[in-house]
């Protein structure tokens, strides 16, 4: 099994969780990971977003037609 993505021992998921909790990138760097740069975090978040989009694009079922629309409502 592959290990979670990390940068210098920092798990990407840990940084994402801090951002999801409402911390700004600046706060993440200043208060938690001073060895990271804001630019590295931005690029990593962008890369993760692309990976998620690509992996879910083919696995997300198409929405069902709106029942009201099919009745002309």
To the question of pTM greater than 0.85 for the whole model, the response is no
pLDDT of residue 63: 72
* Alpha-carbon dihedral angle through residues 36, 21, 14, 38, given to the nearest 10 degrees: -10
Q: Is 16 exposed, middle or buried (0-12, 13-18, 19+ CB in 10 A)?
A: middle
Structure confidence by residue, pLDDT tens digits, 8-46: 678 899 999 999 999 999 999 999 999 999 999 999 999
- Tens-place pLDDT, residues 39-69: 999 999 999 999 888 887 766 666 777 766 5
């Amino acid at each position: 099994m592959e290990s979670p993505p990390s940068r210098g021992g920092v798990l990407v998921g840990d940084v994402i969780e801090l951002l999801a909790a409402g911390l700004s990138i600046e706060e993440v760097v200043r208060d938690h990971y001073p060895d990271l740069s804001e630019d590295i975090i931005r690029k990593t978040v962008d890369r993760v977003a692309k990976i998620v989009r690509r992996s879910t694009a083919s696995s997300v079922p198409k929405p069902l037609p709106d029942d009201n629309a099919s009745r002309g409502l």
